Amino acid sequence: MAADFEGLESQLTLARALPTTKRVVAKQQKTCAENLRRRAAGSMTFSLDTPGRAPLVPMIIDHASGCKLHDLDGNEFIDLHLGFWTGIIGHSPGVVAEAIKREVDRGTNVGVGHTLEIELCELLIEHIECAEMCCLAVSGTSAVMHALKLARATRGRRKIAKFNQQYHGHDGDVLVDLTEFGLGIPRSDHTLVLPGTAEAFDLIRQHADDLAGIVIEPAPPVRNPLPFYDLAFFRELRRLTAELGIVLIFDEVLRGFRSRFGATLDDQGIVPDLACFGKIIGGGLPLAAVVGRRAIMELGRTTGNALRDHSDRVPLMATYSGNRIACAAGLAQLKHIKQHQDEIYPYIKEKSHWLSSEINSHAIEHQLPIVADVMDGGLVVVHKTSAAIPPAGPMHPAMLLQTYLRDQGCYFNGGPIQISPAHRPSDLERVSAAFKAAMADLVKDLA
């Protein structure tokens, strides 16, 4: 094991010594210095300081707007990430910023009901097929945790099922097969991990008497874009869970409102019992929701008798759930998307396919083992191919690409690329040129 760590450290040392990495560090001296101060101060809240996400060069920004990030050194970067895919219409869009300004003086975390919470729930219920009731949460993780509790309470069973390598937040029950998140997480005996093949249906039948619910992302997952899942798979999963009395939960935190205004598979007639939403519905602020059929959701609402609630109801609580300012931001963003959906969704889809084609063309030209695929909703996933790596280097070119794109004025963290209407055609032309130049530098530096 020690030898393995030594090898990894050697790879990082070589990667940091590459000419382009040195050039990026030189461009971001204030940013790098501030990162050292942050670490010395003991701060662990920087999102990319989490295990498995450490970039070769840190990124700390001064401000963000539209599709641009501006660092502490005054450099401008086209953002291909947009706040973990929350900014589907860009950073701090005017409609969202104005909504926040209007409401901030009227109360922040009020801790009681308010009209914005009601209006947001009404909007979600109106446009999501399974949503007869809605409970707001703080994050996608908490929404999934609420959904699992509701499923268990409904069925009177402890075990839940998930599909192999799908990510559903930080609850221990849904991390059992994700080894990169395993340290500190106890092994759960209450989770059945299913394969993304038709064999899953046999396993569901075998464990039907113990299963409370099954959680799945309603599309091929970003972590592994080529599994068995297709519409026929989801139709059979819906049919089988209904037959066996198992609560079907769709994790829509990433997908919801991304390819259409509402849930991902509603237009295909595939409707779950519960669904979890986040990211887009918060307008860039911490907000999520679990929605679903009334018979299940009612278990999370008071009976009106506090003593009876202790035995008959599921507490779905968090201090910041339904935060007034987050509701204002989410409502503003969703209303804007609804009003302009006929322009927003086609634009994102068209430009995502264009950019994917450009990236693939550049990778072929430079003979790099990198490929770009377009997922539903217009997310562009850039990942490794199984081809041999020409030329050899300290780490895979797909990983080094993050730093090399930074040198070309683009912020890419390795995750899916989100294009928004804030990315105008001229910005996207710059992104394509950045990929081409970054790949050329990769080949030159690794030769």
The string of pLDDT tens digits covering residues 310-353 is 878 888 888 899 999 999 999 999 999 999 999 999 999 999 99
Which one-letter DSSP state was computed for residue 208?
T
Looking at per-residue pLDDT, the higher value among 180 and 18 belongs to 18
3-state secondary structure of 251: strand
**For 49-63, how does the pLDDT look when each residue is reduced to its tens digit (9 = 90+)?**
666 667 889 899 999
Taking the C-alpha atoms of residue 420 and residue 192, their distance in angstroms, rounded to an integer, is: 37
Fold of 94-339: Aspartate Aminotransferase; domain 2 (3.40.640)
Over 80: is that where the pLDDT of 217 sits?
A: yes
Question: Under a CB-based contact definition with an 8 Å cutoff, are residues 351 and 140 in contact?
Answer: no
Q: What's the token pair of residue 160? A: 């839940």
**Higher pLDDT, residue 176 or 337:** 337
Burial class (CB in 10 A: 0-12, 13-18, 19+), 186: exposed
The model's confidence at residue 2, banded by pLDDT at 50, 70 and 90, is very low
Query: How far apart are the C-alpha atoms of 26 and 22, rounded to whole Å?
Result: 6
Domain 13-91+342-446 has CATH 3.90.1150.10: yes
Name the residue ranges covered by the structural domains of the chain.
Answer: 13-91+342-446, 94-339
Taking only the tens place, the pLDDT of each residue in 410-443 is 999 888 999 999 999 999 999 999 999 999 999 9
Between 18-27, 229-238, 258-267, 395-404, the lowest mean confidence (pLDDT) is in 395-404
CA 271 from centre of chain? 21
H or E segment and range at residue 206: helix 199-206
